[in-house]
A = this chain, B = another copy of it.
Amino acid sequence: MNEIKALVFDLYGTLYDVHSVAARCETCYPGRGREISAMWRQKQIEYTWLRSLMNDYCDFEKATEDALVYTCRYLKLELEASTQQLLCNEYLQLAPFPEVPAALRRMRTSGLPLAILSNGSRRSIHEVVSSSGLEAEFAHLISVDDVRVFKPHPSVYQLAERTLRLARAQILFVSSNAWDAAGARHYGYPVCWVNRASNCFEELGQQPDLVVDGIDTLARHLNDLQTSQS
């Protein structure tokens, strides 16, 4: 942790709150919003894993659409084309978690380059980041589109190392998704797991180097580390 020279963040669920999607689901399907969005998110992630394993990549928008179609079929809910588009568009306008903007600014101005490494397509990542006004915080927005496979495949994690031109040990990888944190740790990055909801870490033979309850806590931790070194 002492030689960290850059930070690489996961996007969905780490910097941006995917469950803001639940509100829109609730508008379209009153009383079912939480159930739909939870199953949709689970299937979305499953489809990224399965497509990667089957060697049949599609982009994140397609996996997101397919997961919504499945969810509605499973729950026996009608899904009109306009509703499908409305709900999927919600993934392009996610809100950052409340502490994120100030915490990113603090870390960036302290001299650490920040990047995003996400399952999202290039277009999705740019749209989410720019619609939240956080573009200026990031030196790089890195999409799995470049390797056509999703996390936690090693090729994805390798993208960050190559883009930043730093050694693995110099990059702190930050994710709220325990399976993503485990994948990055196995690849060789020091890892910070953002555990906002007091969850359990996955049993995948890996442990995070640091656990925080939000990005602000991470920023304070890094500041303390810098202060103690100077």
Contact = CB atoms under 8 A, between A and B. Distances in A.
26 contacts: A46-B49, A47-B202, A47-B203, A49-B53, A50-B152, A50-B183, A50-B204, A51-B204, A53-B150, A53-B153, A53-B183, A54-B182, A54-B183, A54-B186, A54-B204, A55-B153, A56-B186, A56-B204, A56-B205, A66-B204, A66-B205, A67-B203, A70-B200, A73-B200, A73-B203, A74-B200
Interface in A58-90: 58, 66-67, 69-70, 73-74
Interface residues of A, number: 33
In this complex, the member of A52, A54, A151, A154 whose beta carbon has the largest number of chain B beta carbons within 10 angstroms is: A54
A97 interface: no
Interface string A133-157: 0000000000000000011111000
B200 A154 contact: no
Interface secondary structure of A, over-half rule:
helix
Interface in A149-202: 150-154, 179, 182-183, 186-187, 199-200, 202
Contacts of A150: 53
Nearest to A204: B50
A126 B84 CA distance: 46
Interface in A91-119: none
Given A54-B153, A69-B203, 17 more contacts: A46-B46, A47-B202, A47-B203, A49-B53, A50-B179, A50-B204, A53-B150, A53-B152, A53-B153, A54-B152, A54-B154, A56-B186, A66-B204, A70-B203, A73-B200, A73-B203, A74-B199
Interface string A189-230: 000000000011011110000000000000000000000000
Q: Which 4 A-B pairs have the closest CB atoms?
A: A66-B203, A70-B203, A49-B49, A73-B200
A69 B51 CA distance: 27
Interface in A3-58: 46-47, 49-56, 58
